[in-house]
Amino acid sequence: MIEFENVSYGYEDNKKVLESITFKIEDGDFVGIIGHTGSGKSTLIQMMNGLLKPDSGTIRFRGENIFGNGYNLRELKFRVGVVFQYPDYQLFETTVIKDVMYGPMNMGMTQNEAMDAAKQALSLVGISEDKFNKSPFELSGGEKKKVSIAGILAMNPEVLVLDEPVAGLEPEGRRNLLKLLEKIRNENHITIVMVSHSMENVADYCNHVLVMNEGKLELNGTPEEVFRQADKLEKMGLSSTVAYYIMRELEKRGIVHDDRSITMKEAYGCLEKLL
């Protein structure tokens, strides 16, 4: 679905921010991108819909070079929806409903179609009707985040890219939002790419993990492949999952053997059997 080949990029101050990044994302993947602050995660995802253009290398969407001659980059922005890290940069309209309708209207929907799409997206993310005519800036941090996600969902994208969607939400809000993403992926067949600082969230929800370190793609694999390389992750200032460390400790003490758990669910399963 999305393919990066030797993609490099630097902002105007010339510092290399991405260095020769190569990976593929398959249709239906739930990809987690992790990495230390400043490692290039936000820069990387802004290339997925052509918002930023690489200095060198190629980005393909469904096999086509998105910076190739005649490629419809405007349409790509509707097909690959990017939700920014900070909702304040994304929201701008006077009311919630107008904000969410903006994308659909831009795509060419009529006022009524856009209104329907917006209402549906807002209800999906759990924003109630009494908020529709409020200014998005009157909302709480979590609600702003949901409205910014609704604004992208209303365009019915093929890929939904989210930059730290659960940052700043309380634990229940986090869980609800992650469950919602899982549901959208399964029911609407949308590919999801999520930048996250939570190893747990990535291990629990994603099937594909990319690990960025100082502008390089250091690890690329399944959660099991990535989170079993705790030493490498620690060298990058990251860590494996809590479940991984608990199970290694139990292994050291001879209590469990040949265990491959990286999530709490898997660890519980293993321990339940032992008990």
Ligand X SMILES: Nc1ncnc2c1ncn2[C@@H]1O[C@H](COP(=O)(O)OP(=O)(O)OP(=O)(O)O)[C@@H](O)[C@H]1O
Residues lying near Mg ion in the complex (CB under 5 A)? 41-42
Supply 102's token pair.
Answer: 């903006």
The least distance separating ligand X from the CB of residue 94, rounded to whole angstroms, comes to 27
Read off φ and ψ for residue 43, nearest 5 degrees.
-60, -45
229 binding partner (options Mg ion, ligand X, none; Cβ < 5 to 8 Å by kind)? none
The least distance separating ligand X from the CB of residue 38, rounded to whole angstroms, comes to 4
Does residue 17 belong to the site contacting ligand X (CB under 6 A)?
Answer: yes
Please say which residue, 17 or 267, places its beta carbon nearer to Mg ion. Answer: 17
49 binding partner (options ligand X, Mg ion, none; Cβ < 5 to 8 Å by kind)? none
Binding span for ligand X by CB under 6 A among 30-38, 88-96, 107-115, 149-157: 30-38
The least distance separating Mg ion from the CB of residue 165, rounded to whole angstroms, comes to 12
240 binding partner (options Mg ion, ligand X, none; Cβ < 5 to 8 Å by kind)? none
Please say which residue, 37 or 69, places its beta carbon nearer to ligand X. Answer: 37
Q: How far is CA 140 from CA 29, 144, 146, in A?
A: 30, 6, 10
The least distance separating Mg ion from the CB of residue 82, rounded to whole angstroms, comes to 12
Closest CA to 196 of 206, 184, 187: 206
Helical H runs in the chain? 41-45, 73-79, 96-107, 111-125, 141-153, 171-188, 199-205, 223-227, 230-235, 242-252, 264-274
**Cβ-based neighbour number of residue 244 at 10 Å:** 24
Q: Which residues of 187-223 are buried (b: 16+ CB within 10 A; e: fewer)?
A: eeebbbbbbbebbebbbbbbebbbbbbebbbbbbeeb
Closest CA to 36 of 251, 216, 244, 271: 216
Q: Please say whether the beta carbons of 220 and 30 come within 8 A.
A: no
Size of the site for ligand X (CB under 6 A): 12
Does residue 38 belong to the site contacting ligand X (CB under 6 A)?
Answer: yes
The least distance separating ligand X from the CB of residue 159, rounded to whole angstroms, comes to 18
Site residues for ligand X, 64-103, by CB under 6 A, read 85
Binding span for ligand X by CB under 6 A among 10-18, 47-55, 95-103, 198-206: 10-18
Binding span for ligand X by CB under 6 A among 32-40, 56-64, 111-119, 149-157: 32-40
Does residue 136 belong to the site contacting ligand X (CB under 6 A)?
Answer: no
